[in-house]
Amino acid sequence: MKVLILGGDGYLGWPTAMDFAAAGHEVCVTDNYMRRQIAEATDSEALIATPGLSERARVFHALSGHSIEVRIGDLAQPEFMFEVVRETQPDCIVHYAEQPSAPYSMRGFREARETFQNNLDVTFNCIWAVKDIVPDCHIVKLGTMGEYGTPNIDIEEGWIEIDHKGRKDKFLFPRAAGSLYHTTKVLDTDLLWFYVRTYGLRVTDLMQGPVYGLSTEQADMDPSLCPHFHYDDIFGTVVNRFLVQAVAGVPLTVYGGGGQTRGYLNLRDTLQCVRLAAEQPAEKSELRIFNQLTETFSVNEIASRIKETGDRLGLGVEIKSIPNPRKELEEHYYNPTSSGLLELGLKPHYMTEDVLTGMFERIIANKDRIDKNRIMPRVRWKS
Ligand code: USQ
């Protein structure tokens, strides 16, 4: 397949690009380095610095023999989106090109507006470029489990059948996000659904939970191919943050009561899920939704697991609850369905002691690069 990856510089975008290329697909990546610029402006750079996309594509080619085409530009500008889609004629577009940080989207008006405009504009431009240039192209869109929030009923895979006053119909599962970032993904889903039912597009919307990990088959070939591994309060996801905190000797920052439960997955499983979805596309006029997670944990459970493995490595890990900077339930019901991707062939990599030990080893080797000023939360939901 010809695969176009929007947001190919990101934590997930770059390893996805290498994975598709290694599987024999023809890959083009685009990015405008927005996340790198935000990381620099907010003092939130990744633990391991990596070169730009062209240099990484060069190293990857030298080591694997596989090519990745790189195009730098702003997909929120329709001219650039249309040019890239016209010239690459993709069979599949993987859309990651969004501002992905919930805390950044809650930092103030400028950051909220930047998140809102970028995320919605890129999705809108992508839809129109597909509709007008490559109407058969399958869009694989990265959504988030955070679209659903934490409802007091089981979370279905995207859709729910409702029996109301004796009549039945199927609707998008109710959504109630907990940050402006997560809300942009709700709006993306609605936009995609409108264009799917009106113009017959084929779309897979992946409701993904927080991802952890920094190792993939291709990323392990050279340090310059490593995904951006963030441990700061802006871009770092909770498991990655806790592992770095344990190595730095900082007590693990459990926000509030720590009962917040989410569906997690290993970075290697993100790659599997996205490729499985791409290689077994949605039908025309179908908005197919999968819940992309392999295990659910509360924040307290994650902290205990990391403490256990860290202590075994002699780190003497402490856990400390701090006031929750977010507005979220700290005790709640959480039971998401997630059978669709398993049915497509997903073979999960769980959060085992070996996996955590492997991550600890990489972080310990880079211990000198940890900046402790990036660890405590700097953004509050209620101001
Ligand atoms: N948390 C802590 N301590 C920390 C950091 C986080 O207790 O030091 C808690 C948060 O309050 C939250 C949970 O851990 O309850 C998860 O937080 P997170 O920062 O790992 O994840 P989140 O902000 O929800 O966002 C991340 C990605 C986002 C993706 C989302 C999937 O940054 O791009 O969409 O995970 S989900 O959470 O399922 O919506």
Task: Specify whether the CB–CB gap between 289 and 157 falls below 8 A.
Answer: yes
Please pick, among 88, 185, 195, 294, the residue that the annotation labels catalytic: 185
Q: Where are the alpha helices (DSSP H) in the chain?
A: 13-22, 34-41, 53-64, 78-88, 102-105, 109-133, 180-199, 238-248, 267-279, 299-312, 340-344, 353-365
The tokens describing 48, both together, are: 């391991």
Please give the mean pLDDT across all residues of the chain.
98
**Residue 195 among the catalytic residues:** no
Q: Tell how far CA 349 is from the center of its chain.
A: 17
Pocket test for ligand 1, best of 99, 142, 229, 237 (most atoms within 8 A of CB): 237
Task: Specify whether the CB–CB gap between 283 and 269 falls below 8 A.
Answer: no
Task: Return the biggest CA–CA distance within the chain.
Answer: 64
The pLDDT, as a whole number, for residue 382 is: 80
Pocket test for ligand 1, best of 293, 299, 330 (most atoms within 8 A of CB): 299
Give, for all 383 residues of the chain, the pLDDT tens digit: 999 999 999 999 999 999 999 999 999 999 999 999 999 999 999 999 999 999 999 999 999 999 999 999 999 999 999 999 999 999 999 999 999 999 999 999 999 999 999 999 999 999 999 999 999 999 999 999 999 999 999 999 999 999 999 999 999 999 999 999 999 999 999 999 999 999 999 999 999 999 999 999 999 999 999 999 999 999 999 999 999 999 999 999 999 999 999 999 999 999 999 999 999 999 999 999 999 999 999 999 999 999 999 999 999 999 999 999 999 999 999 999 999 999 999 999 999 999 999 999 999 999 999 999 999 999 999 86
Task: Specify whether the CB–CB gap between 87 and 138 falls below 8 A.
Answer: no
Burial (CB count within 10 angstroms: exposed 0-12, middle 13-18, buried 19+), residue 41: exposed
Cα 246 to Cα 311: distance, rounded to the nearest angstrom:
9
Domains of the chain: 2-374 (3.40.50.720)
The pLDDT, as a whole number, for residue 63 is: 98
Q: Which atom of ligand 1 is nearest to the CA of 242?
A: 8
**Residue 327 among the catalytic residues:** no
Q: How far is the CA of 212 from the centre of ligand 1 (A)?
A: 11
Torsion, CA 58, CA 62, CA 64, CA 65, rounded to 10 = 90
Which residues form the pocket of ligand 1, taking CB atoms under 6 Å from any ligand atom? 100-102, 144-146, 182, 208-210, 237-238, 241, 253-255, 260, 262, 299, 326, 328
Q: Which atom of ligand 1 is nearest to the CA of 211?
A: 35
Task: Specify whether the CB–CB gap between 143 and 185 falls below 8 A.
Answer: yes
The single-letter DSSP state of residue 194 is H
Beta bridge partners of 2: 26
pLDDT, one tens digit per residue, over 235-257 is: 999 999 999 999 999 999 999 99
User: Around 184, how many Cα atoms within 13 Å sit in the side-chain half-sphere?
Assistant: 27
Q: How far is the CA of 238 from the centre of ligand 1 (A)?
A: 6
Sign of the C-alpha dihedral computed for residues 63, 68, 72 and 77 taken in this order: negative
Cα 333 to Cα 150: distance, rounded to the nearest angstrom:
7
Cα 97 to Cα 151: distance, rounded to the nearest angstrom:
28
**Residue 115 among the catalytic residues:** no
The tokens describing 312, both together, are: 């075994």
Q: How far is the CA of 234 from the centre of ligand 1 (A)?
A: 10
